[in-house]
Amino acid sequence: MLTLVIGKHNQVKLLNTQAKKHGFTLLEILLVVVIVAVMSVVGANVINSQSVERTILNQAKAFEQNLIFLCEKAVLDNQALGIEFSQLGYNVFGYQQQTWQMLEPDELPVMAESVSMALLLGGLEQSLPAEPEGLPQIVCQPDGSFNAFEIRLAAKEQATHYYALSTVSPWELDTEWHAQE
């Protein structure tokens, strides 16, 4: 509705007195819902990818700490200790009386189901036996040194990169992320 108003000095103005509508149109509401949905999906994927990487990193750090502890124990006990990997997990062995003997498990961390592991000795990937055979692949000597190895931890699904725990020297370990080859 238009209203004619006469102001000071006889100026004539036309005013629109129609009430303005308040609120949002259906199109605006739908646009906001779509934007929020897209952001939620992207955010969930980012969080999921970070949680898998975090799991891999935690597994690697736990294994590294256990390996360091095992080598320190080998020095203190003046006895070679080793770790044997199998498809069931891994076990600790001690070298006693000219043979490897399985030791009681000391709460070794269990591999998460979402993480796959590869063991490389001399740069060659090792196939893991179905069950323990009593021959450790990684050995900590009584002087605290260990044999050359590399352990690669990656997500079982969408493995675009892996976390490697490897020897730099007989007494030094290195850890870092790598792109999948």
Question: Does 108 fall in a domain?
Answer: yes
Residue 95 lies in a domain: yes
What gap in Å lies between CA 178 and CA 181, rounded to an integer?
9
With respect to residue 10, please indicate whether it lies within any of the assigned structural domains.
Answer: no
Query: Looking at the DSSP assignment, which residues form a beta bridge with residue 140?
Result: 81, 146
pTM of the complete model beyond 0.95: no
**Mind listing the pLDDT tens digit for each residue in 2-23?**
565 566 666 666 555 555 667 8
Which helix (H) or strand (E) covers residue 168, if one does?
Answer: strand 161-169
Q: Which residue do the tokens 């199998």 mark?
A: 86
Q: Is residue 166 one of the residues assigned to a domain?
A: yes
User: Residue 139: which residues within 8 A CB-CB, separation 6 or more?
Assistant: 80, 81, 82, 146, 147
**Is residue 117 situated within a structural domain?**
yes
C-alpha–C-alpha distance, residues 17 and 20, integer Å: 9
Question: Quick check: is 136 in a domain?
Answer: yes
- Residues 117/159, Cβ–Cβ less than 8 Å: no
Domain of residue 67 covers 25-179
Q: In this structure, what CATH number is given to the domain that contains residue 50?
A: 3.55.40.10
Structure letter (DSSP) for residue 143: T
137 inside domain: yes
Domains of the chain: total: 1
How confident is the model over 20-76, as pLDDT tens digits?
Answer: 667 888 888 889 999 998 888 888 777 766 677 788 888 888 888 888 888 999 999
